[in-house]
Amino acid sequence: MEPNTTRKPILAPIPAVILAIISVQGGAAIAKGLFPVIGPASTASLRIGISALILLAVNRPNLRILTGKQWKAVIPYGLMLGAMNFVFYLAAERIPLGLAVALEFVGPLLVAVLGSKRKTDYLWVVLAAGGIALIAPWTAKGLDPMGVGLALLAGAFWAGYIIMGSAVSKVISGGTAVTVGMLVASIIIVPFGVASGGFEKLTLGLSLSGIALALLSSAIPFSLEMSALHKLPKKTFGILMSLEPAAAAICGLIFIHEVLSLKEWIAVMLIVLASLGAALTAKTQKDQ
């Protein structure tokens, strides 16, 4: 008798994705709360290091059986994963969470649009560019130019993460790829956290916050998204994920009292619309 492999997910797919988005942005809010005490470098290291330990415990990959080809794919993937998270936290220390997420979203948006040959898709680039222009340092008084630049750099790393993730998925199964990638990221990023001196200030309470951060930002959303992707078309998933910058701005307002100006809200919504448009018009042959 074959085992029953059609267990129903705990949550329906769309609520699962929405909860994953809230989880990630709630984790980001916790991270910003840790910045004044241990700094963004140690916070990023704490998240990545604990996430790696959780994934290793859950997935238990056999690293000894990985081939040279697989290591060549997963190491760049891990580099992009670590750099994306590390640089994003550096940006979020300097600018509001909603703006940091919106600017970071430009990376995957460009990957989606530049992979298309349709001229109409460049409308989404124009919308995103309009959003960036509204919060560019030379137009937004009081907005840290370094923070804006770091958020865009995090977006570039996110684009690299998507490209490298596509390559690694062809040679390693999903659970193993994410686990080994996070392990590589922790080996690279954790030394920065140690060097910054933030770990010396850790208390039991801060350590528990770090565990909550790792769970909310990695373990829980990864699990929810993987569950939802089995049921949702990729286009639908992309449409839901395009709401993340707005969710970040709302979480920033609720949890850490970051109030955006009208112009900044317009910038966030322009980038949301660009991401939404790219998801709506994406070709979905594989989903049909």
pLDDT in tens, 221-253: 877 887 777 677 877 888 888 999 999 999 999
Buried-exposed string 170-182: b where 16+ CB fall within 10 A, e elsewhere: eebeeebbbbbbb
**In the chain, what are the domain boundaries?**
13-281
The Cα 14–Cα 48 span in angstroms is 27
User: With 0-12 CB in 10 A as exposed, 13-18 as middle and 19+ as buried, what is 58?
Assistant: exposed
Q: Give me the residue label for tokens 């530049």.
A: 114
User: With 0-12 CB in 10 A as exposed, 13-18 as middle and 19+ as buried, what is 21?
Assistant: buried
> Which tokens go with 45?
């290291």
User: With 0-12 CB in 10 A as exposed, 13-18 as middle and 19+ as buried, what is 43?
Assistant: buried
The Cα 27–Cα 211 span in angstroms is 10
Q: How far is CA 19 from CA 24, 88, 221, 255, in A?
A: 9, 21, 8, 16
Among the listed residues 113, 95, 80, the one whose alpha carbon sits nearest the alpha carbon of residue 275: 113
Per-residue confidence band for 150, with pLDDT thresholds at 50, 70 and 90: very high
The Cα 148–Cα 103 span in angstroms is 7
pLDDT of residue 10: 53
pLDDT in tens, 13-67: 889 899 999 999 999 999 999 999 999 999 999 999 999 999 899 889 889 889 9
pLDDT of residue 189: 95
User: With 0-12 CB in 10 A as exposed, 13-18 as middle and 19+ as buried, what is 204?
Assistant: exposed
Got the DSSP string for 52-111?
Answer: HHHHHHHH---GGG--HHHHHHHHHHHHHHHHHHHHHHHHHHHS-HHHHHHHHTHHHHHH
pLDDT of residue 4: 47
Does 5 score more than 60 pLDDT? Answer: no
Residues in the chain: 288
* Upper half-sphere CA count for residue 74 (Cβ side, 13 Å): 23
Among the listed residues 185, 219, 158, 189, the one whose alpha carbon sits nearest the alpha carbon of residue 42: 189
pLDDT in tens, 88-102: 999 999 999 999 999
The Cα 62–Cα 176 span in angstroms is 9
Per-residue confidence band for 3, with pLDDT thresholds at 50, 70 and 90: very low
pLDDT of residue 110: 87
The Cα 173–Cα 228 span in angstroms is 17
pTM of the model: 0.88
